[in-house]
Amino acid sequence: MHYENPEQVAGESYWNNSKDRGYRGLHMEIAKAIQWNEILPGRLIRALLRPKRLVNLIKASAALLVSSLIKKPVVWGIPPVLTIEPTNQCNLRCPLCTTGAGEMERPVGRLSPETFEHLMELLGDYIFFLLIYHQGEPYMNKHFFDFVRLAKRKGIYVTTSTNGHFFTPANVEKTIESGLDSMIISIDGVTQSSYAHYRVGGDLQRVIEGTRLLMETRRRLGSRTPNVAIQFLVMKHNEHEIPAMKRLAEELGVDRFLVKNIEVHSMEEARFWLPDEEAFRRYEIRNGELVVKGVSEKQNCPRLWLSTLMNWDGTIVPCCFDKNGKYVVGNIHSVADFRAIWKGPQLQAFRQQHLRDRQSIDICRNCNQGFGSFLPDRLWQRWMARSASQPAASHNLETVTQLTPEKE
């Protein structure tokens, strides 16, 4: 098989040679060597290559760089990347999810077409990447396909993440015909008992059959999109199932297989959920406390300059780690120009606190995103990938590992 990038070689080497080379060493290899996701880079770049969007990205990136250097929040442009929450309701009860665990403190509801249309009026010409998911199941909003279609009419790259329980024949065809560029389907086990241990209330067979229907329908309609990735959250009870899950992903015919780590908030959760393999833990334990690996080395998070998140009711928060809306910085219903929020005093104060002392912000302490991750780590990862000496497999499924959870 021809590999698009050296990281993929390391991933396939892991799956093909784990019995020969040892489980632990190859876990470490794949964790260090690979950093990718469900995104189609070519389509994403095409969405960006419009004058307003390109200029806006340059402005926002320059502001991030200057702010990182002078340690004061400089803001140019508006966010080129946007996450929206279609709903904070879900059909499952995943224990580590704010919604699933019953810890949602915000009002429960669903994004209206009017709110989304207003958002597109404010930002549609400037954003090139739209993520339609947050704290809830996107398919539970009956207007989900309308959101995708409107964004695609504006030439925006659109992705989503789902638990896969709503793949009826009608929804599958709508998904494909909407123009959705890519999607994640969460499957965290190869048996019902393993799957439902975390996806409480879920039906593994229903998700498998729905995913199979999606891929078959995509082929029948002659479409290349959405690019479909199965996401596997690695936990203590399922880490041994990674090879079997990889085989299931191949059998279903999806495009990518994502292996992701989990977010926990206490030592009790850590003891119960974190996998034994150190390479798949995003935390280390210091003096009896959980500490996110590498967070002290990556002080300046790019998200505060390059992206933002809108909850279903129009409230704006800094990023996806603010699950309960603790740091609301505005509401799009109260502004005619998004710059009033983007450059407003609340978000500027948040940026300043982050630049001064990232560790003082609770949601930032549990995140390992940062400006320092873009160059040095990436070069190291490429070197590690090129060092993988084992031959690759002869199939087309891309196997990738991510170390930062966006959605549990």
Report which of residues 366 and 229 the model is more confident about: 229
Say which amino acid occupies 187: I
> What is the average pLDDT across 297-302?
70
pLDDT at 304 over 70: yes
Q: Which range among 235-244, 269-278, 282-291, 391-400 shows the weakest confidence by mean pLDDT?
A: 391-400
C-alpha span between 339 and 306 (Å, rounded):
13
Q: Hey, what are 330's tokens?
A: 């505005």
316-337 confidence digits (pLDDT tens): 999 999 999 999 999 999 999 9
Q: Residue 34's pLDDT is what?
A: 32
28 band by pLDDT with thresholds 50, 70 and 90: very low
The pLDDT of residue 18 is above 60: no
pLDDT for res 305? 96
Residue 399 pLDDT: 59
Task: For residue range 35-76, list pLDDT tens digits in order.
Answer: 357 788 899 999 999 999 999 999 999 999 999 999 999 999
Q: Per-residue pLDDT tens for 144-199?
A: 999 999 999 999 999 999 999 999 999 999 999 999 999 999 999 999 999 999 99
* Mean pLDDT to the nearest integer, 253-266: 90
Q: Tell me the CA distances in angstroms from 223 to 160, 226, 398, one per residue in order.
A: 17, 8, 19
Over residues 87-126, the pLDDT tens digits come to 999 999 999 999 999 999 999 999 999 999 999 999 999 9
Using a pLDDT cut of 70, give the percent of the chain over it: 80
Over residues 337-363, the mean pLDDT reads 93
Cβ atoms 36, 146 nearer than 8 A: no
